[in-house]
Structure 1
Amino acid sequence: MILVAARLAGIVAALLIALPIHLLWRLLRLPSPWPRWYLGTLGWIIGARRRTVGTPLRRNVVFVANHLSWMDIPILAGRTGSAFVAKAELRAVPLVGWLCTLNRTIFVRREDRMAVTEQIATLRAALAEAWAITIFPEGTTGDGTQLLPFKAPLLAVLDPPPPGVLVQPVRIDYGAATRELAWVGDEPGTAHALRVLRRRGSFIATLTFCAPFDPAAHGGRKAIAAEARARIAAAGGMEAARVDSPTVEPANLDSGGVEAAASL
């Protein structure tokens, strides 16, 4: 429990550093890099040493990624500054829901069919402001050995796509630690978080940014989902229905695993 306490203390300390500065940036109406810094730091505290393959786009992009754990969010946000699409229930979780709002999380009610049009409009408004947004179209977490089916309705914002917006598939991989860290089954969230915090040592978290593509050229959300899924599968040799040849740039290791670069 000493390791858990030390990591929790580090997470709180990083928040106490980042939050006042972030609020000051917002008060001055400046683009704030501090949520990105905080999330990247959180990933480093829990043991992630980030490795990047390929080059992520900065703006006007929807990242489509496989999903292994809640750790995907701080690790990916620390690299890209992306906002995320999350289920509405997360908004009500104490502290976690509030922290999500700092990074401009877009909460959606998947079971509320009456609100679909409104939610798509919210996503389109975010993209119109040139944000980067991440969607996990599996809709749940997997074990890292195979891709679950992509839920095409989660990509409704891209059917039709806003002008100028590209899709960039991303493969998230924790290497040898994947099976140990992946959140699968019906394990309670608190139990999984404690399991991660108790794990000794660090692990390499590889983010493979595949070649982006124009969703307008792929004829609807189902075709977009299939193309993104095939590229993610090809990038990591994972099992999927379709497999294309991987197109990624040479790897580079992020210095220190934490960045405080470009503003959100």
Structure 2
Amino acid sequence: MLAPAHVATKWLARRSPWPSRFLAAAAWIIGARVRCSGGPASPHTLLVSNHTSWLDILVLGGSTGTTFISKDELGHPLIHWLADQNATVYVKRTHRKGAKDQAIAVAAALEREKPVTVFPEGTTGPGTHLLPFRSTLLEAANYASKEVEIRPVAIDYGNAAAEIGWYHEPGKANIVRLLNRAGTLPVRVQVLPPLDRAGDRKQLTALARDAIASRLDFKSDAHSPIGVVE
């Protein structure tokens, strides 16, 4: 039902609010009850967020209007089409020598109107602590022709964080489990103040991780037992 309205609005106005509305509606239907503070994020903002679940896309996209950075292979064509409608930025994360090209692609997206979210953990985690943050894509802020703000974002699932965490579980099993979850799911999205851009990308990444860890009341240990810092 939303697709014709989205296509028509995008054709007439060159931009459409329907992708974020769709994500918000999908989050609500699944049971998420989202409260967002500190926003909205302005255009030319790079949001740096923790990553607990595929639900993060619905929760954050629906509450902030952000687009996302994704691996270039999303599987099912419908999923890819839906991601396209939200102006998703695709990168080849396994192509290590193409780090600069990845950052330039993100920089181009930052020059448009939608904020852009990066999940520097690179994967979803257990929900009980942060994985190491990779700094590569934060370099995009230096390549953009616009003045870019970098703002950490804490997605907080509260007492349900460990239950929501997608780690060591097949994707289909996780989706089925969460869709069958009883009751509603309170989620708090906290868009934190912009970081001081004086530091290099690794310093900014560390600052973002510390800010998110503090809001989630996690111990900010750079040597997490899961993952490897890059």
TM-score by length of 1: 0.79
One of 86, 99, 114 as aligned partner of 1:116: 99
Moved more, 22-31 or 36-45: 22-31
- Counterpart CA distance in 1 for 2:96 and 2:131 is 23
Relative contact order: is structure 1 or structure 2 higher (C-alpha 8 Å, sep ≥ 6)?
1
- Counterpart CA distance in 2 for 1:145 and 1:197 is 21
Query: Counterpart amino acid of 2:220?
Result: A
SS at match of 2:47: strand
- Counterpart CA distance in 1 for 2:217 and 2:176 is 30
Q: After the TM superposition, which residues 202-213 of structure 1 pair with which residues of structure 2 at under 5 Å, given as runs?
A: 202-213=184-195
Given the superposition, is the C-alpha separation of residues 157 and 205 from structure 1 closer, same or farther in structure 2, using an over 3 Å criterion?
Answer: same
Residue 202 of structure 2 corresponds to which residue in structure 1? 222
Please state how far the C-alpha of 1:104 moved relative to its aligned partner. Answer: 0.6
Please state how far the C-alpha of 1:127 moved relative to its aligned partner. Answer: 1.1
Query: Counterpart amino acid of 1:80?
Result: T
Q: After the TM superposition, which residues 46-195 of structure 1 pair with which residues of structure 2 at under 5 Å, given as runs?
A: 46-90=30-74, 92-159=75-142, 162-185=145-168, 187-195=169-177
CA distances 1:209-254 after superposition (whole Å, capped 9, x unpaired): 1111243x11x21111001001111112111138xxxxxxxxxxxx
Please state how far the C-alpha of 1:152 moved relative to its aligned partner. Answer: 1.2
SS at match of 1:86: strand
User: Structure 2: where are the runs of 5+ without partners?
Assistant: 223-230
Moved runs in structure 1, 4+ residues, more than 4 A? 159-163
Residue 225 of structure 2 corresponds to which residue in structure 1? none
CA distances 1:169-204 after superposition (whole Å, capped 9, x unpaired): 01111112211111011x221111111111111010
Residue 36 of structure 1 corresponds to which residue in structure 2? 20
- Size of the aligned set, in residue pairs, is 222
TM-score by length of 2: 0.90
Q: Is the 8 A contact 1:165 1:214 kept in 2?
A: no
Q: Give aligned-pair identity as a percent.
A: 40
- Counterpart CA distance in 1 for 2:148 and 2:194 is 10
* In the alignment, structure 1 residue 24 sits paired with structure 2 residue 8: yes
- Counterpart CA distance in 2 for 1:86 and 1:128 is 18
Q: Is the 8 A contact 2:48 2:117 kept in 1?
A: yes
Find the structure with the greater CA-based Rg: 1
- Counterpart CA distance in 2 for 1:119 and 1:139 is 14
- Counterpart CA distance in 2 for 1:158 and 1:58 is 14
Residue 234 of structure 1 corresponds to which residue in structure 2? 214
Please state how far the C-alpha of 1:162 moved relative to its aligned partner. Answer: 4.8
User: Structure 1: where are the runs of 5+ without partners?
Assistant: 1-16, 243-264
Q: Is the 8 A contact 2:70 2:91 kept in 1?
A: yes
Query: Counterpart amino acid of 1:24?
Result: A
Q: Is the 8 A contact 1:66 1:138 kept in 2?
A: yes
- Counterpart CA distance in 2 for 1:138 and 1:164 is 25
CA distances 1:66-122 after superposition (whole Å, capped 9, x unpaired): 0000000011011111010011122x3331121111101111101123543333222
Please state how far the C-alpha of 1:142 moved relative to its aligned partner. Answer: 1.4
Please state how far the C-alpha of 1:160 moved relative to its aligned partner. Answer: 5.6
Please state how far the C-alpha of 1:161 moved relative to its aligned partner. Answer: 6.0
- Counterpart CA distance in 2 for 1:213 and 1:59 is 16
